[in-house]
Amino acid sequence: MADDLSDVATDSSHYKPPEKKTIDEIIRNTQGADESLDKYKDFLLSANDPANMYDPSDSRSVILTNISLLVEGVAKISVDLDRNVNMDDLVFRIKEGSQYQLQLNFYVQREIVTGLKYIHKVYKHGIPVDKDSFMIGSYAPKKDLQRYATPAEDAPSGMVNRGKYKVKSRITDDYGHDWLTWTWHLEIAKDW
Protein backbone atom coordinates (compact mmCIF):
# COMPACT_ATOMS: atom_id res chain seq x y z
CA MET A 1 0.00 0.00 0.00
CA ALA A 2 2.86 2.38 0.67
CA ASP A 3 3.65 2.53 -3.05
CA ASP A 4 0.04 3.52 -3.84
CA LEU A 5 0.52 6.73 -1.88
CA SER A 6 4.10 7.55 -2.85
CA ASP A 7 3.02 9.42 -5.97
CA VAL A 8 0.80 11.86 -4.09
CA ALA A 9 2.46 15.23 -4.56
CA THR A 10 3.08 16.95 -1.27
CA ASP A 11 4.43 20.28 -2.41
CA SER A 12 5.72 21.73 -5.64
CA SER A 13 8.22 24.01 -3.89
CA HIS A 14 11.82 23.05 -3.24
CA TYR A 15 11.35 22.63 0.50
CA LYS A 16 14.10 20.68 2.23
CA PRO A 17 13.37 19.44 5.75
CA PRO A 18 15.73 20.48 8.52
CA GLU A 19 18.42 18.07 9.61
CA LYS A 20 16.82 15.59 11.99
CA LYS A 21 18.04 16.06 15.55
CA THR A 22 17.10 14.38 18.77
CA ILE A 23 16.01 16.41 21.77
CA ASP A 24 19.36 15.59 23.45
CA GLU A 25 21.29 16.97 20.44
CA ILE A 26 19.27 20.20 20.49
CA ILE A 27 19.94 20.69 24.19
CA ARG A 28 23.67 19.90 23.89
CA ASN A 29 24.22 22.22 20.90
CA THR A 30 22.43 25.24 22.36
CA GLN A 31 23.67 25.41 25.93
CA GLY A 32 23.95 28.97 27.20
CA ALA A 33 22.53 30.51 24.01
CA ASP A 34 19.76 32.65 25.52
CA GLU A 35 17.00 32.68 28.12
CA SER A 36 14.07 31.86 25.82
CA LEU A 37 15.98 28.94 24.35
CA ASP A 38 16.74 27.68 27.87
CA LYS A 39 12.98 27.74 28.64
CA TYR A 40 12.28 25.78 25.45
CA LYS A 41 14.94 23.21 26.40
CA ASP A 42 13.34 22.82 29.86
CA PHE A 43 9.99 22.24 28.13
CA LEU A 44 11.54 19.58 25.86
CA LEU A 45 13.19 17.83 28.79
CA SER A 46 9.90 17.72 30.71
CA ALA A 47 8.18 16.27 27.63
CA ASN A 48 10.39 13.17 27.91
CA ASP A 49 9.34 12.62 31.50
CA PRO A 50 6.91 9.62 31.50
CA ALA A 51 4.55 11.65 33.70
CA ASN A 52 4.16 14.10 30.80
CA MET A 53 3.46 11.48 28.12
CA TYR A 54 0.11 10.29 26.83
CA ASP A 55 1.23 6.63 27.05
CA PRO A 56 4.75 5.99 28.38
CA SER A 57 4.44 2.28 27.50
CA ASP A 58 3.94 3.13 23.80
CA SER A 59 7.24 3.62 21.96
CA ARG A 60 5.65 5.56 19.07
CA SER A 61 6.10 9.30 18.84
CA VAL A 62 2.80 9.95 17.02
CA ILE A 63 -0.25 8.15 18.38
CA LEU A 64 -3.50 8.54 16.45
CA THR A 65 -6.41 7.95 18.85
CA ASN A 66 -9.52 8.96 16.92
CA ILE A 67 -10.72 9.63 13.38
CA SER A 68 -13.92 11.61 12.87
CA LEU A 69 -15.89 12.69 9.85
CA LEU A 70 -17.36 16.12 10.47
CA VAL A 71 -20.43 16.64 8.31
CA GLU A 72 -22.15 20.03 8.18
CA GLY A 73 -25.46 19.95 10.06
CA VAL A 74 -24.93 16.41 11.38
CA ALA A 75 -23.30 15.05 14.51
CA LYS A 76 -19.77 13.89 13.83
CA ILE A 77 -19.21 10.28 12.86
CA SER A 78 -16.34 9.09 15.02
CA VAL A 79 -14.15 6.00 15.40
CA ASP A 80 -12.10 5.53 18.55
CA LEU A 81 -8.81 3.82 17.66
CA ASP A 82 -7.90 2.91 21.24
CA ARG A 83 -10.09 -0.13 20.73
CA ASN A 84 -8.91 -2.84 18.35
CA VAL A 85 -10.73 -1.56 15.28
CA ASN A 86 -10.24 -3.18 11.89
CA MET A 87 -9.60 0.04 10.02
CA ASP A 88 -10.10 -1.64 6.63
CA ASP A 89 -13.77 -2.06 7.61
CA LEU A 90 -14.35 1.63 8.39
CA VAL A 91 -17.23 3.00 6.34
CA PHE A 92 -18.37 6.61 6.68
CA ARG A 93 -21.72 7.18 4.96
CA ILE A 94 -22.79 10.69 3.99
CA LYS A 95 -25.48 12.29 1.87
CA GLU A 96 -24.50 13.50 -1.60
CA GLY A 97 -23.71 17.21 -1.75
CA SER A 98 -22.86 17.34 1.98
CA GLN A 99 -19.90 19.37 3.11
CA TYR A 100 -17.48 17.28 5.18
CA GLN A 101 -14.03 17.25 6.81
CA LEU A 102 -11.86 14.47 8.19
CA GLN A 103 -10.60 15.20 11.72
CA LEU A 104 -7.58 13.45 13.21
CA ASN A 105 -6.98 13.40 16.98
CA PHE A 106 -3.46 12.45 18.02
CA TYR A 107 -0.70 12.81 20.59
CA VAL A 108 2.98 13.58 20.00
CA GLN A 109 5.44 12.23 22.54
CA ARG A 110 9.14 11.34 22.88
CA GLU A 111 10.54 13.47 19.98
CA ILE A 112 9.92 16.54 17.85
CA VAL A 113 7.97 15.67 14.72
CA THR A 114 8.47 18.02 11.77
CA GLY A 115 6.33 18.32 8.68
CA LEU A 116 3.59 15.95 9.80
CA LYS A 117 1.18 15.43 6.89
CA TYR A 118 -1.92 13.46 5.99
CA ILE A 119 -2.08 12.03 2.47
CA HIS A 120 -4.78 10.01 0.76
CA LYS A 121 -5.70 8.48 -2.55
CA VAL A 122 -9.36 7.80 -3.43
CA TYR A 123 -10.58 4.98 -5.67
CA LYS A 124 -13.95 4.10 -7.15
CA HIS A 125 -14.29 0.63 -8.66
CA GLY A 126 -10.49 0.28 -8.39
CA ILE A 127 -9.81 3.41 -10.48
CA PRO A 128 -8.01 6.36 -8.82
CA VAL A 129 -10.31 9.40 -8.83
CA ASP A 130 -8.58 11.79 -6.39
CA LYS A 131 -5.36 12.23 -4.45
CA ASP A 132 -4.32 14.89 -1.99
CA SER A 133 -1.83 15.84 0.69
CA PHE A 134 -2.52 18.07 3.71
CA MET A 135 0.17 19.61 5.90
CA ILE A 136 -0.69 19.09 9.56
CA GLY A 137 2.35 20.86 11.02
CA SER A 138 5.36 20.36 13.28
CA TYR A 139 4.99 19.44 16.94
CA ALA A 140 7.11 19.24 20.06
CA PRO A 141 6.19 16.39 22.38
CA LYS A 142 3.56 17.13 25.02
CA LYS A 143 0.74 15.40 26.83
CA ASP A 144 -1.98 17.55 25.24
CA LEU A 145 -4.29 16.13 22.57
CA GLN A 146 -3.65 17.60 19.11
CA ARG A 147 -6.40 18.00 16.49
CA TYR A 148 -6.26 18.51 12.76
CA ALA A 149 -9.19 18.81 10.36
CA THR A 150 -8.78 18.73 6.59
CA PRO A 151 -10.25 21.64 4.63
CA ALA A 152 -14.00 21.32 4.00
CA GLU A 153 -14.98 19.47 0.83
CA ASP A 154 -18.32 18.97 -0.92
CA ALA A 155 -19.34 15.37 -1.51
CA PRO A 156 -20.15 14.79 -5.18
CA SER A 157 -23.81 14.73 -6.23
CA GLY A 158 -25.74 12.78 -8.81
CA MET A 159 -26.41 9.14 -9.55
CA VAL A 160 -23.03 8.57 -11.22
CA ASN A 161 -21.16 9.77 -8.13
CA ARG A 162 -23.12 7.77 -5.56
CA GLY A 163 -21.58 4.62 -4.20
CA LYS A 164 -18.64 3.45 -2.17
CA TYR A 165 -15.18 4.99 -2.48
CA LYS A 166 -12.07 3.27 -1.13
CA VAL A 167 -9.60 5.68 0.53
CA LYS A 168 -6.00 4.75 1.25
CA SER A 169 -4.55 7.10 3.88
CA ARG A 170 -1.22 7.72 5.54
CA ILE A 171 0.22 9.97 8.19
CA THR A 172 3.90 10.67 7.52
CA ASP A 173 6.47 13.38 8.19
CA ASP A 174 9.36 15.24 6.54
CA TYR A 175 11.60 12.20 6.87
CA GLY A 176 9.14 9.73 5.34
CA HIS A 177 8.37 7.97 8.62
CA ASP A 178 5.09 6.08 8.24
CA TRP A 179 3.25 6.85 11.49
CA LEU A 180 0.06 5.16 10.33
CA THR A 181 -1.30 3.77 7.06
CA TRP A 182 -4.87 2.59 6.75
CA THR A 183 -7.72 1.99 4.33
CA TRP A 184 -11.30 3.15 4.85
CA HIS A 185 -14.43 3.71 2.79
CA LEU A 186 -16.60 6.74 2.10
CA GLU A 187 -20.09 5.95 0.90
CA ILE A 188 -22.00 8.68 -0.95
CA ALA A 189 -25.75 8.04 -0.70
CA LYS A 190 -28.90 9.78 -1.95
CA ASP A 191 -30.19 10.13 1.63
CA TRP A 192 -28.96 9.56 5.14
Mean pLDDT of 40-51: 68
pLDDT band at 33 (very low <50, low <70, confident <90, very high): low
pLDDT digits over 16-29, tens only?
777 777 767 766 66
Indicate the pTM of the whole model: 0.76
In the predicted structure, residue 101 carries a pLDDT above the cut 60:
yes
Higher-confidence residue of 96 and 31: namely 96
In the predicted structure, residue 76 carries a pLDDT above the cut 70:
yes
Q: What is the pLDDT of residue 2?
A: 46
- Work out the mean pLDDT of the chain and round it to a whole number: 83
Pairing of strands 153-154, 99-108: antiparallel
pLDDT band at 48 (very low <50, low <70, confident <90, very high): low
Q: DSSP string of 64-120?
A: EEEEEEEETTSPPEEEETTS---GGG-EEEEETT-EEEEEEEEEE-SS-EEEEEEEE
What is the CATH T-level fold of the domain 2-189, as seen in this structure? Answer: Coagulation Factor XIII; Chain A, domain 1 (2.70.50)
pLDDT band at 46 (very low <50, low <70, confident <90, very high): low
